[in-house]
Amino acid sequence: MTTAKLASLMARGTDFLGCETAILCGAMSWVSERNLVAAISNAGGFGVIACGAMTPELLDAEIAATKALTDRPFGVNLITMHPQLFDLIDICARHDVGHVVLAGGLPPKGSIEAIKQKGARLICFAPALSLAKKLVRSGVDALVVEGMEAGGHIGPVSTSVLAQEILPDMAGQVPVFVAGGIGRGEAIAAYLEMGAAGVQLGTRFACATESIAHPNFKKAFFRASARDAVASVQIDARLPVIPVRALKNAGTESFTAKQREVANLLDSGTIEMMEAQLQIEHYWAGALRRAVIDGDVEGGSLMAGQSVGMVTKEEPVAAIIAQLMEEAAQALARRTA
């Protein structure tokens, strides 16, 4: 009965994604590769490959390898500022990827048409109600509303406020998935009742058994509490950097030094603003790789959301999804009792 209620609240999301549970594992650079993505989709959720800075050739190989591990649907997350965005879109089309997620700002001219022309459904991040409306008018098929509790690059507004602002207007138009700070099923039930079609989690899945993240990276997550996952600070008003939420470590300090270095290059006229921002993004990609792949938990970037305190042990993806669904179903049962 309660499971039926949960399934009915998730029905729009599962129909849209083509999976059993409307739980997406948000793309995490270096972490969301073939193994984790296939495990999520095989467990009934929706895995998303993080393309990040991959070349079209690497993305081609990653999609093929993921397909070898699962015959269920999964998506690909592309970053709008990737210099070969349109080649990456072509690779997705060649593999008949059903869902493309565009992250990192508004879709560049022609990208929405290119993605949809090849038959894929397009999911975009909506950081405010006005932008949510604009994205849907331009043909976006579904939205992710992600609050500042999340791990990785974040906006300034919390998940609870964004959900209240955006769901009442947009949930009737397109499926909306809520992300940021979700660690338990009770929160999933609440957002579904508010009109969400499903949810997206990252932090909760980063240390799953199937995740290739280095054991040191996973240990740092298990030890951390919510207050350790802090947002980076912008040190120079002339250099706007998108804040990144990560566990506090020596790398947090070295980001301050990196900003100073880039600000000086801007001042001396050695580089333009575009290049300055690209250097900052490359810094993050390199620092995240050092932590996730090499296990450098001091100097690397341990991107994590505030829900990290609810990540206490290594568990298979299927167990995590089963627990989230059970908690959500029980929360709904308590409402009707």
CA distance 1 to 271: 61
| Residue 1 CB-half CA count within 13 A | 8
Residue 185 engages ligand FMN in binding (rule: CB under 6 A): no
Query: Least distance from C-beta 79 to ligand FMN, angstroms?
Result: 7
Kindly determine how many residues on this chain lie close enough to bind ligand FMN according to the rule CB under 6 A.
Answer: 28
Residue 232 engages ligand FMN in binding (rule: CB under 6 A): no
Torsion angle of C-alpha atoms 65, 177, 226, 241, degrees rounded to 10? 80
Phi, psi of 269, rounded to the nearest 5 degrees: 75, 10
Site for ligand FMN in 62-101 (CB under 6 A): 77
Task: Tell me which of 189, 206, 224, 329 binds ligand FMN, using CB under 6 A.
Answer: 206
Residue 124 engages ligand FMN in binding (rule: CB under 6 A): no
Site for ligand FMN in 21-60 (CB under 6 A): 26-29, 31, 50, 52
Query: Least distance from C-beta 268 to ligand FMN, angstroms?
Result: 31
> Looking at beta carbons, which residue is closest to ligand FMN?
202
Q: Measuring CA to CA, how many Å separate 228 from each of 113, 170, 179, 221, 247?
A: 41, 33, 19, 10, 5
273 CB burial (10 A radius; 0-12, 13-18, 19+): exposed
Binding mask 268-307 for ligand FMN (x = CB under 6 A): -----------------------------------xxx-x
Query: Least distance from C-beta 1 to ligand FMN, angstroms?
Result: 29
Segment near ligand FMN (CB under 6 A); pick from 14-22, 144-152, 275-283, 328-336:
144-152
